[in-house]
Chain A
Amino acid sequence: MNLTYLFQGFVSFLLVLGITVPGLAGEPTEKIRQITDKIVSIVSDPALKDPTKAKERRNLIRSAVDERFDWEEMARRSLARHWDQRTAEEKKEFVRLFSDLLERTYMGKVEDYSGEKVRYEGETTEGDYAVVKIKIITKKNKDIPVEYRLKKRGNDWFVYDVAIEGVSLVNNYRTQFNSIILQSSYENLVKKLREKGEPK
């Protein structure tokens, strides 16, 4: 009894100091683990493998991701300096277009899942920010390092950036969006995103 209190006290003491305890899987890691397990269970569900169920499966994956990803924060960070100049309406539309862009880009990869393993490599928390490091181990035994960056909002953690092999997703889109906007205009960027989103 006393010992647990002591331990808790010690852990919160470390947290106050900003020291991370790698051995203890904290809340952010748990959140990532939850969503990973959820998506893995969706993509490996044999009942949903049928081609006629493809749409349903996509919707399930999308809603699972929506729960944990802060699309607005991601879109804001990707648009960076150009975000402030947008009206509330434009921002809303951009967030939608941006999340659809990510869905189109990565959904195929998620659907191709074939039993890759995930290893949790620890996390670092600092105030309202956390980094969760994982490794995806492919069937050929190569590991791909992935870093989730999370931010606390209210009492929950949300992903605002993902870095694969050290390359940040937000940084990638930030550079691209910036050069499109500077070369032409924001309207042109939205047009491009819309065109890409239209079913062919």
Chain B
Amino acid sequence: MKKIDLELTVGLFIIAGIICLGYLSVKLGKMEMIRGNGYDTYALFSNTGGIRTGSPIVIAGVDVGRVKSILLDNYQARVVLHFTENVKIQEDAIASIKTKGLIGERYIEITPGGSEKIIEPGGRIRETQPAVDLEELISKYAFGKI
């Protein structure tokens, strides 16, 4: 009787541990188990500058979504953006790839537009701004002078 009790507690602890691990991996991996009210749009960039699946999308510094996938499409990057909330993105909004600080993590910033037309789920954000290649710019303007 006593032996079964001990085994039961150990088992319960292990199960609890596995649940915790599962929760952690979902949280850390930024996976969403339940797809809420979000929707997808896509944008074409000439240079993503190292955006990854899971990179944040922000408006005014507030997280509004994540990069869902990145594909090569006619030598351009086709980035699928998943908005987790029902934010309305205007047709003339600009999606630009920014860097946190000088050498930090890349993210996508949306500057909202003023158009009355709203991008439908599955639609495209036409206006994009690729990542600025700092290295290239420096070499162009700092080392170029002879």
Q: Which residues of A contact B (CB under 8 A)?
A: 76-77, 79-84, 129, 140, 142, 149, 161, 163, 165-168, 170-171, 174-175, 178
A163/B129 in contact, CB under 8 A: yes
In this assembly, does B126 line the interface, its C-beta being within 8 Å of a C-beta of chain A? Answer: yes
B111/A166 in contact, CB under 8 A: no
A165/B144 in contact, CB under 8 A: no
Complex partner residue of A165 from B111, B112, B132, CB under 8 angstroms: B132
Q: List 18 A-B contacts (CB under 8 A).
A: A76-B114, A77-B114, A80-B111, A80-B113, A81-B113, A82-B114, A83-B114, A129-B126, A140-B144, A149-B127, A166-B47, A166-B130, A166-B131, A171-B96, A171-B111, A174-B111, A175-B111, A178-B111
A166/B46 in contact, CB under 8 A: yes
In this assembly, does B100 line the interface, its C-beta being within 8 Å of a C-beta of chain A? Answer: no
User: Would you list which residues of chain B between 108 and 146 have a CB under 8 Å from chain A?
Assistant: 111-114, 126-127, 129-132, 137, 140, 144-146
Complexed CA–CA distance, A189 and B145 (Å): 38
Q: Name which residue of chain A comes closest to B93, CB basis.
A: A80
In this assembly, does B40 line the interface, its C-beta being within 8 Å of a C-beta of chain A? Answer: no
Q: Name which residue of chain B comes closest to A133, CB basis.
A: B46
A167/B129 in contact, CB under 8 A: yes
Residues of A within 8 A of B131 (CB): 166
Residues of B within 8 A of A171 (CB): 94, 96, 111, 127, 129
Residues of A within 8 A of B140 (CB): 142
Complexed CA–CA distance, A140 and B145 (Å): 8
CB distance from B112 to the nearest CB of A (A): 6
Q: Name which residue of chain B comes closest to A149, CB basis.
A: B127
Complexed CA–CA distance, A178 and B113 (Å): 11
Residues of B within 8 A of A80 (CB): 90, 92, 111-114
B129/A166 in contact, CB under 8 A: yes
Complexed CA–CA distance, A174 and B112 (Å): 9
